[in-house]
Amino acid sequence: MKELSLLEKAPRPLRSIAEKVFDGNRISEEEGLLLYKEGELGFLGILANHVREKKNGNYAYFNRNVHIEPTNLCVFDCKFCSYSRMLKQKTDSDAWEMTDVQMLEAVKNHNQNITEVHIVGGVHPKMDLYYFAALLKQIKSFRPDLHIKAFTAVEIDYMSRKAKVSYVAGLKILKDHGLDSIPGGGAEIFDSEIRKKICEDKCTAEEWLSIHQSAHEIGIQSNATILYGHIESFEHRIDHMEKLRKLQDQTGGFNCFIPLKFRNSNNQMSAIAEVSTIEDLRNYAISRIYLDNFPHLKAYWPMIGKNTAQLSLQFGVDDLDGTINDSTKIYSMAGAEDQNPSLSTEQLVDLIKQAGRTPAERDTLYNIIRTYEREEV
C-alpha cells in the first residue's frame, strides 16, 4: 500500500513513466533525464526493484574470485585516477610491477574454489599483447577450469595498436590463449568534451564501444561501466547509457552494468566533492530502469562500502561482485571505505541475507553454482 501511495502521489509525467516500466516498455532519453531531475528515491526504488525482481527474482549474486593487478605504472594520465603512477615514478614506494611468476603464484596460492581470476592494471609498454597472451596460457595450463576475465578496452586498445593488429585480431589472439571475457573498465563517460577534461589521452568512447562490439562478435562476453559523480551532468549519464543500450540491442553481449563512483582522494580532481549515498542509490535505480536489456546490475562493494552495497539490493542491484582478496587497490588508494577489501563467502552470504535477498553463488557468466536458502554456509 505504501508503494502504491508513492506512485499515486508522483506528478503525472512520472506516473506515465511508472506505467511504462510496469508494462515492460522502454523509456526514452527524455524520460530517463526526468527521473534524474525529479524522481524521488522512494519512487525510483519501487520501479527499479520491479525491474530487478522481474529479471532476477529475489537472487543476489556473487562469485568467488581473485583480482590480479599486474602494475600501476601507466602511460596514461587520467585526472580522476588515484591508482596509477607514471612510468617515471616507478621507484615510488607505492608503485609496483609484478612479474609473470608472481602473477602465476597469486593464482596458485588461492583456494581452488575460486571460479574467476580478474586481471586489470595500468597500461605498461613492456606488458604487451604477446606477454599477456603467454600469461593467460600459463594460467590455463594449471587451472583450465578457471574463467579469465581480463583487460579493459583501454588495455586492449593499447596492446592492439602496439602489436599493429586490429581489435578483432588482438582479441582473437587473447581468446586463443585463454581469455574468456573482458571487464567494463575504461568507459568513464562517453561524452567527448568531458573525456577531454578527465582522460584525454586514453581510447575514445567510439574505440571503447568498437572493442566491446568486436569482442561480442567473436563470442567474448563483457561488462560495461560508468564513472559518475564528478563533472558530468545527468544528460551525460543518460547519453552514456543510451550508447550502451543501443550496442546491447545489436549484440546482446553485455552481462552486467557497473556504476563506479568517483572517489576524490589522492588524485588531480580532489577538489570535487563526492556525491552522497542517496545519489548513489538514485543512480543505481535509474540505471536499472533505463538499461532494460542488461540482465544484471552490479554494485562493486569495495568502492562504495558494504553498507551501501547492502542497501543497493533494494534499488535495482542484483550482484555484489565477489569475495575478492585484499590485493585490490584501485579504490582503496582513492579513499574507498573499505581499505582492505576482502570478504569471505560466509560474510558475503550473511550480508545478502540481512538485506532479505537469497544469496546465489554464480560463475562469471551468471550460471548459478549454488544458492544459500538455509542458515548454514
- Which CATH number do you get for residue 143? 3.20.20.70
Rounded mean pLDDT, 111-116: 84
- Asked whether residue 354 is assigned to any structural domain, the reply reads yes
Percent of the chain with pLDDT over 70: 91
- Asked whether residue 16 is assigned to any structural domain, the reply reads no
Owning domain of residue 320? 53-371
Instruction: Provide the domain count of the chain.
Output: 1
258, β-bridge pairs = 225
- Asked whether residue 14 is assigned to any structural domain, the reply reads no
Res 85: pLDDT: 82
Rounded mean pLDDT, 237-259: 98
Q: In what order do the strands lie in the sheet with 181-182?
A: 65-68, 116-119, 147-150, 181-182, 221-228, 254-261, 296-297
Asked whether the beta carbons of 143 and 107 are under 8 A apart, the reply is: yes
Res 282: pLDDT: 98
Tell me: pLDDT of 3 over 90.
no
- Asked whether residue 29 is assigned to any structural domain, the reply reads no
d(CA 117, CA 325): 11
- Asked whether residue 11 is assigned to any structural domain, the reply reads no
- Asked whether residue 196 is assigned to any structural domain, the reply reads yes
- Asked whether residue 252 is assigned to any structural domain, the reply reads yes
Name the band, by pLDDT with cuts 50, 70 and 90, for residue 94.
confident
* Cβ-based neighbours of 311, under 8 Å, separated by 6 or more: 277, 281, 355
pTM higher than 0.85: yes
Name the band, by pLDDT with cuts 50, 70 and 90, for residue 345.
confident
- Asked whether residue 4 is assigned to any structural domain, the reply reads no
Closest CA to 178 of 154, 201, 145, 207: 145
> What does the mean pLDDT of the chain come to?
91
